[in-house]
Amino acid sequence: MVALDTGSDLFWVPCDCIECAPLAGYRETLDRDLGIYKPAESTTSRHLPCSHELCSSGSGCSSPKQPCPYSTDYLQENTTSSGLLIEDVLHLNSRESHAPVKASVIIGCGRKQSGSYLDGIAPDGLLGLGMADISVPSFLARAGLVRNSFSMCFKEYSGRIFFGDQGVSTQQSTPFVPLYGKFQTYAVNVDKSCVGHKCFEGTNFEAIVDSGTSFTALPLNVYKAVTVEFDRQVNASRITQEDDSFEYCYSASPLEMPDVPTVTLNFAANKSFQVVNPTIVRKDGEGSIAGFCLAVQKSPEAIGIIGQNFLTGYHIVFDKENMKLGWYRSECHDLDNSTTVPLGPSQHHSPGDPLPSSEQQTSPTVTPPAVAGKAPTSSGGPSNLHRLLANCCSLLFLTISTVFFIS
C-alpha cells in the first residue's frame, strides 16, 4: 500500500530493511496487513547496474556492474529514503480485457528511511508519479502499454488512479507550464482567484499541482486577498487556535454549521476550478465539531501549491501526451464514462484542441479534506523550488493510497 505523490518521481517500498517504519498495527484502520518487498523471493527481480542510463548515482560507483544506489531527500525534517534500485515486474488490472497487465519498472528497494517516514508517513512505500523517466507512468507509456497520461480521483478519504486515462470530452483543462525554464513538475498558471462572486485582478501566479501536499499554499498577496475576503463573507465568529496551522478559524457546532463562501481558481480561456470544500473541521476532546478553518497556507515563494484538499471531489487528469491538466467533478464511484484508451502507444504527438468549458457549481459543505504525506524530490531542481516544497506544508498522516503487486 503506497502513497500517491505527483510531486516526486521514484517508486520505492520498504525492502531488506536496515531502518524502516514499523508495519504492525495497521490492520484495524486499513483492513489489511502491510508487507516488506523481498527481491530475493522474486524470480523476476534484478539489481539495476550502475551503467544503466537511469542510475543517477553511477558516477559514484566503483564498478559499472555494481548495483545502483539511490538516496532521495524530501526536504521535510530531514526526511529521506535510500537503498538500491531494482528492476521488477508490476502487475496492474486492465479496464479493457480484465486481464492483468505486466510492466517492467524500476523500484527503489528502500533499505533505510529517516525523518517523518519513520513516524508512519507512507510506511509501506511511496509511488512517485512525476514527469521524470524513472516514474511508473513514464515506464508504462514508453513500453507502449498506455497513453502518456494518468488520472486520479479523490474522495474524502480514498481515491483511485488510472494509468493511460485521458479523461472525458467535457472536462476542463489548462496547459502545463515550465518552471525556471524546464518542464520538471506539474505546474499551471492561475490567472486569478475568487471568493464567492468577488474576484481579484492581479493575483495571477504559477502553481504546482501536488497530490503529496496535504493543504494548498498561496503566494502571500493571493493568500491575503483570499483569506481577508473569505473572513468578510463567512457568517461565523472567528476564533483563535492553539496551534498555528491555519490563520482563519471559526466556531461551529453539529447543530449550527454556517454557510461557507466558495473559493475558485480561474485559468486561461475562462476555465474555472471551484474548490468543493476549502475548509477543515476542528473537533473537541470528545470528538464533536467545535469549529472549522480555511485550509490554506502561505507559500514562502511566489509559486503556489494546489494540494490534495483542493483536489478532493474531482477527477484530475495529468496528460503528459498533450501537456495539460484536466479536471471534472466526480464522486469516484461512477467512472464508466471515462475515455477507454487502447493499449498501445500514441499515434500523434501534437496537443489536441482545447476542451470546452463546462463549469460545474456546487456549494461546499464543512467536512474534513483528505490528507497525504508530502514528498517533494530534491534532485535536479532550483534551490528556490526546493525551499517552496520544503516549507509549504508539514507532513501529515497517510490516507490516499493504492495497492500494487510486485512479482
Residue in 36, 59, 34, 61 with CA at minimum distance from that of residue 47:
61
Q: Is 124 a catalytic residue?
A: no
Q: Is the dihedral of CA 4, 165, 318, 194 positive or negative?
A: negative
Q: State residue 245's pLDDT score.
A: 86
- The answer to whether the beta carbons of residues 293 and 214 sit under 8 Å apart is no
SS3 102: strand
Residues 197/203, Cβ–Cβ less than 8 Å? no
Give the alpha-carbon dihedral of 44, 47, 53, 58, to 10 degrees: 180
Residue 139 has pLDDT above 60, yes or no: yes
Q: How far apart are CA 110 and CA 36, in angstroms?
A: 10
Question: pLDDT tens across 65-98, in order?
Answer: 999 999 998 857 688 999 999 999 999 888 766 6
Give the whole-angstrom CA distance, residue 80 versus residue 71: 7
Each residue of 167-185: pLDDT tens digit?
Answer: 999 999 999 999 989 999 9
So what's the pLDDT on residue 338? 45
Residue 392 has pLDDT above 80, yes or no: no
pLDDT at 40 over 50: yes
Q: Which pTM does this prediction carry?
A: 0.82
Q: Name the residue ranges covered by the structural domains of the chain.
A: 3-146, 172-335
For residues 89 and 406, the answer to whether their CB atoms sit within 8 Å is yes
Pick the CATH number of 3-146 from 3.90.79.10, 3.40.50.880, 1.10.10.10, 2.40.70.10: 2.40.70.10
Cell of 240: 483563535
Choosing from 73, 165, 210, 319, which is the catalytic residue? 210
- When pLDDT is averaged across residues 182-192 and rounded to a whole number, the result is 96
253 neighbors 274 (Cβ within 8 angstroms): no
Residues 6+ apart with CB under 8 A from 199: 192, 193, 264, 266
Q: How far apart are CA 183 and CA 114, in angstroms?
A: 29
Q: 128-137 pLDDT, tens per residue?
A: 999 999 999 9
Per-residue pLDDT, 97: 66
Q: What share of the chain is helix, strand, coil (3-state, %, to 5)?
A: 15, 35, 55
Pick the CATH number of 172-335 from 2.40.70.10, 1.50.10.100, 1.10.40.50, 3.20.20.70: 2.40.70.10
- Render pLDDT for 351-366 as a digit per residue (tens, 0 to 9): 332 222 223 333 222 2
SS3 of residue 350 by DSSP: coil
**244 is known as an active-site residue:** no
pLDDT classification of 118: cutoffs 50, 70, 90: confident
Please, are residues 152 and 27 in contact by the beta-carbon 8 Å criterion? no
State percent of the chain over pLDDT 90: 57
344 pLDDT higher than 60: no
Assess whether the region 3-146 and the region 172-335 belong to the same CATH fold.
Answer: yes
Q: Parallel, antiparallel, or unpaired: how do β-strands 279-283 and 187-190 relate?
A: unpaired
